[in-house]
Amino acid sequence: MGLKKDIIKIGEDIGFNLVRFYKPEIIKDEYFERWIKEGYYGDMEYLKMTMDKRLNPFLVFSNLKTIISCAAAYNYIKYEENGRRIAAFALFEDYHKVLKRMLKEYLKRIKSLIPEAEGKVFVDTGPVFEKEIAVRCGIGFRGKNTLVINRDFGSFFVLGEIFINIDIEPDGPVSDDCGECDLCIKACPKGAIFEPYKLDPRKCISYITIEKKIKDFNLEETNGYIYGCDECQVVCPYNSERRVKLNIFSKVLNNLLQNHR
């Protein structure tokens, strides 16, 4: 337990709000497999191409013993100019770059603590089933909008992982706590959340404005968003009283609309 506490402390010192540990296994997920088979991934062909690796993390790192799941929270900021809106996560430095730096430093410090440690770091551009892993090790529970929700930090956070060859005591899942709430389903402008816990990305404004890379789209159809969408998160009760005061995403970028033309 002492080693686990030391590793958690390193992660917190680097700036992660949450650190949990998952004992890897080959994941059985009939819904995800059917979701891929039925083409819900749209233009995200990489999801289909990497499905085997996402379900079997040992294909990504053969000597895998533990997955360290890390969450870094950011504050919600409503940004709108001339009827154009940008999702909160895009108001800060590219989180992929921020997380990669943090994760590499985290792994470096773990290696200093445990010389025999070897590992690989991933953000959401890698072939990792990161939301499922985060749910299974208690970063949070799966919300009806399919996002991971933490009772203290809500859902405004990003995930990164360290695959490592060291056995660390795993954490377990937390209970689903959405109850009868369906605010996120009602708030989705395009009806992309077609059932609780089920999302059709092809109707999702985040997908339309980011993954499809459409330069010209009707702002009325995207609820004014030109990059991303926060509607299903803003209404979530867990995001109404978040406890994030200081975080790694502190400097808001300038010239946002120029950056997202």
Q: Which residues contact 186 (CB under 8 A, 6 or more apart)?
A: 235
pTM value is 0.91
Q: Is 12 helix (H, G, I), strand (E, B) or coil?
A: helix
pLDDT at 242: 66
Q: Residue 67 CB: number of other CB atoms within 10 A?
A: 28
Q: What is the pLDDT along the chain (261 residues), one digit of tens a residue?
A: 699 999 999 999 999 999 999 999 999 888 888 888 888 888 888 888 888 999 999 999 999 999 999 999 998 888 888 889 999 999 988 999 999 999 999 999 999 999 999 999 999 999 999 999 999 999 999 999 999 999 999 999 999 999 999 999 999 999 988 999 999 999 999 999 999 999 999 999 999 898 876 666 678 788 899 999 999 999 999 998 766 655 667 666 655 555 544
Q: Is 67 helix (H, G, I), strand (E, B) or coil?
A: strand
Q: Which residues contact 141 (CB under 8 A, 6 or more apart)?
A: 135, 148, 149, 173, 174, 175, 176, 177, 178
pLDDT at 140: 98
DSSP string covering 232-256: HHHT-GGGTS----S-S---PPSSH
Q: Which residues are catalytic?
A: 124
pLDDT at 31: 82
pLDDT at 19: 98
pLDDT at 261: 46
Match 């959340």 to its residue by tokens. 193
Q: Which of 69, 88, 119, 132 is nearest to 228 (CA)?
A: 88
